[in-house]
Structure 1
Amino acid sequence: MSHSTRCLNCDAIASNVFCSHCGQKTDTHRITLKHFVFHDILHGVWHFEKGILFTIKEALVRPGNAALDYIAGKRIRYYNVFYLALILLGLNIFLTHYYDSLSEVYENPISDVKNNAAGMKIASFMSKYAKAILFSFVPLFALKSTLLFRRRKLNLSEHFIVAGMIFLGIVLITVVGTLFSFFDFTYFDSISEVAEFVFSLLILFYVIYSYYAAFKSDYSVWGFSWRMLLFLLFIIVELFLFFVLLFGFVTHWKFGSINYHV
């Protein structure tokens, strides 16, 4: 192993272990089978997983503080929150699709929703654009927190980071909740019903807890409470408007006539 005075990647003068220009290590070595297996592969995979596990732990345990740490510049230990959320969203969509497939086998394949043309169109739209719809919560969360929690003096992009970390936690909780839904196909199907209620409350508590952890030092309990209440009311209004617009779109704005035959 040798240390070069010039970076072999960008040819800049390098006096430390890492090049100050591009960040590549300055120590060089022959690539051997032992080094390739134990360093390039295992070491790389370990650091990749370590970053993911650390980010998941932070998103679940201290999402508000973790987001503020990231904004403050403590970023090297975190895996990209939005990439990780996309991976988990894909997993949740796969689990949901698998659950729907099992439902057609174990339950009555002709359900009320399938007999409802509007219901089928809504289900198809939600399935096709699931990731885009769910990710739209991030800018909506960021806009609301920018308006309601201004004393921290974060800009909109920084509120995106807070919203992204919270969104990651919501997706993690949702994935676990989806796994519990598979109890529907066992003798313990009542567990899935209880889990659905519990995880809905858990997500609500998680959102409140996350924003409280991030902004509690800027507001009194009352000041935070009424802001959070407005935040949740905005979410309800947004969801209502979304479903009204979606229903209007799939029914060609004929709300009074619903076709129940495919």
Structure 2
Amino acid sequence: MSHSNNCLNCDEPVSKKFCPNCGQKTDNHRITFKHFIFHDILHGVWHIEKGILFTLKEALLRPGKAALDYISGKRIRYYNVFYLTLIIIGLLIFINHVQNELSHYYFNTRLNPETDNAGKKIDTFLSSYSKLIIFAFIPLFAINSFIVYGRKKLNLSEHFIIAGMIYLGVIIINLISMLLFFIEYIDPTYLFFDFLNYATPSIILLFIIFNYYKTFSENYSKLQNILRVFLFILLLFIELIILVILIFGYFTNWEFKLKMVY
């Protein structure tokens, strides 16, 4: 173990366990095999996993309040919410691909080769840019809350943190729902899966409404908060409709004549 009055990394004078300039620990063990395995590898992996699990739990149970805690400076326990969102989105896309292949195999759901050209282009576009499209909802959340919740006096970047945490909760719910659909290949209880198809969007909508309401409940009266949540959702639906129109219009030469052939 090395003891020094100066930081071994930046040469800043130190008197406590961590350097006030760069944050490095002032006690540095010599790198041995034991230290490398149990500290550098296991401790590092556990620290990352612990941060990921804590962030996932907070995003699902209290995303708005967790985001406000993070904004206020309580950050050490959290994993980067945007990195984690990209990881979950990647997992969603992989699971969706697996489910599509299983559906093709079990239920013969491949599109007919005669499907119109516009439909093929849209399918290719969504497949190629699915991660970007899903991630693009975060800016919509952030801009809408920045417009609607001005009394909180948060800047746009801070609204991105709130949006990222709540949206992480949304995609966790979606991930759970997708995993439940694997039961279909063991016991195709169609009534349950029809229910799940309708229940998941409803749960996600209620999750967004409830958590935006809770996040800003201390800044507005109940009626004011309800009206602002309603405005937030209304703006989101308008933006989604515009996005859908732009995508379908572009790939159909603005004729909107799509034919789905199974």
Give TM-score, length-normalised by structure 2. 0.93
Tell me: CA distance 1:180–1:259, structure 2 relative to 1, closer, same or farther (3 Å): closer
Q: CA deviation at 1:62?
A: 0.7
Tell me: CA distance 1:163–1:18, structure 2 relative to 1, closer, same or farther (3 Å): same
Match of 1:213 in 2: 214
Distance 1:215 1:84 in 2: 24
Distance 1:165 1:238 in 2: 20
Q: CA deviation at 1:253?
A: 2.3
Equivalence map 1:241-252=2 (5 Å): 241-252=242-253
The farther-off stretch of 30-39 and 191-200 is 191-200
Contact 1:113–1:120 (Cα < 8 Å) also in 2: no
Q: CA deviation at 1:2?
A: 3.1
Match of 1:117 in 2: 117
Per-residue displacement from partner, 1:5-53 (whole Å, max 9, x unpaired)? 1111112222211111111111122111111111111111111110001
The farther-off stretch of 119-128 and 181-190 is 181-190
Amino acid corresponding to residue 220 of structure 1 in structure 2: S
Distance 1:113 1:7 in 2: 67
Distance 1:243 1:113 in 2: 24
Match of 2:196 in 1: 195
Is there any run of 5+ residues in structure 2 with no aligned partner, and where? none
Amino acid corresponding to residue 159 of structure 1 in structure 2: H
Match of 1:25 in 2: 25
The farther-off stretch of 88-97 and 118-127 is 118-127
Distance 1:144 1:27 in 2: 48
Q: Which runs of 4+ in 1 moved over 3 A?
A: 109-114, 257-261
Match of 2:10 in 1: 10
Residue 182 of structure 1: SS of its match in structure 2? helix
Distance 2:213 2:258 in 1: 43
Contact 2:51–2:77 (Cα < 8 Å) also in 1: yes
The farther-off stretch of 164-173 and 191-200 is 191-200
Equivalence map 1:149-228=2 (5 Å): 149-190=149-190, 191-228=192-229
Residue 28 of structure 1: SS of its match in structure 2? coil
Tell me: CA distance 1:35–1:237, structure 2 relative to 1, closer, same or farther (3 Å): same
- Percent identical residues: 51
Tell me: CA distance 1:116–1:78, structure 2 relative to 1, closer, same or farther (3 Å): same
Distance 1:85 1:186 in 2: 30
Amino acid corresponding to residue 145 of structure 1 in structure 2: S
What number of residue pairs does the alignment pair up? Answer: 260
Distance 2:125 2:137 in 1: 17
Query: Would you say 1:144 and 2:156 are equivalent positions?
Result: no
Query: What is the Cα-based RMSD across aligned positions, in Å?
Result: 1.8
The farther-off stretch of 27-36 and 69-78 is 27-36
Residue 254 of structure 2: SS of its match in structure 1? coil
Q: CA deviation at 1:188?
A: 3.2
Residue 151 of structure 2: SS of its match in structure 1? coil
Distance 2:113 2:26 in 1: 62
Distance 2:107 2:76 in 1: 48
Give TM-score, length-normalised by structure 1. 0.93
Distance 2:259 2:40 in 1: 59
Amino acid corresponding to residue 104 of structure 1 in structure 2: H
Match of 1:79 in 2: 79
Residue 16 of structure 1: SS of its match in structure 2? coil
Contact 2:63–2:166 (Cα < 8 Å) also in 1: yes
Contact 1:146–1:159 (Cα < 8 Å) also in 2: yes
Tell me: CA distance 1:203–1:87, structure 2 relative to 1, closer, same or farther (3 Å): same
